[in-house]
Amino acid sequence: MYALPAMNRFARLVSAVVVAAVALPPGGARAAETDVSIKSGGNEFHPAEIVVHIGDFVRWTNDDRTLFQTDHNVMADDGSFSSQQRMKEGSTFEFQFTTAGTFSYHCTIHGWRGTVVVIAQRPTRSATPTPDATASRSARPKASRSAKASQTPDASPAASTTPSIDARGVGGNGRSSAGTILSIALVSIAVLIGLGYFVYARFLREL
């Protein structure tokens, strides 16, 4: 007697889970919302035809702002969805489409019509792999330590412009200079004697 209510509760829980799994978009797909404005003027549904993906929501809003209250409603031709019989100004109705197809609907109060085209579900967006935050640090080449430059030997000192004096040649050079002077003196004396004789013989003897 007590097992039957427990089984009923369990069955209701399983049914709720299955309905939720069907209604929710598949993993990785993101449900979107598309708005349809309801207001008087030409066609009440703006836009009159929309295209959505499986799992997307469509939200109708009564945007009429008239002097007198203007009600609208949204009714599927096949009865798959319907709003309140009268949607007051500013009120909304939302429905999620879980199957593909073309769904025509209308307003039973004014007779205007609209269409919702449901296509395949949105492609899943695979997460872009995030590059490793730690940037690989390229090893900096170590500065090669060049061997110390061998010290350039100092330039050999310039040869002294002052001639070196050989101690042994001092005496020899002195004797050579004295001989040269003596020879010049003797030649000069001889020239003077010859010149004197020439003057005497030419001029003085005639006197």
pLDDT tens for each residue of 9-47: 666 655 554 444 444 445 445 689 999 999 887 778 999
Residue 163, CA atoms < 13 Å, CB-side half-sphere: 5
Amino acid, single-letter form, for residue 52: V
Residue 146, CA atoms < 13 Å, CB-side half-sphere: 2
Q: For residue 38, give every residue at least 6 positions away whose Cβ sits within 8 Å of its Cβ, in sequence order, or none.
A: 44, 45, 46, 60, 61, 62, 63, 64, 72, 74, 87, 107
DSSP character at residue 204: I
pTM of the model: 0.47
Tell me if 102 sits within 8 A of 76, measured CB to CB.
no
Give which of 83, 74, 80 is closest to 111, Cα–Cα. 74
Peptide bond into 47 cis (omega under 30): yes
pLDDT tens for each residue of 50-106: 999 999 999 999 998 878 888 999 999 999 999 999 999 999 999 999 999 999 999
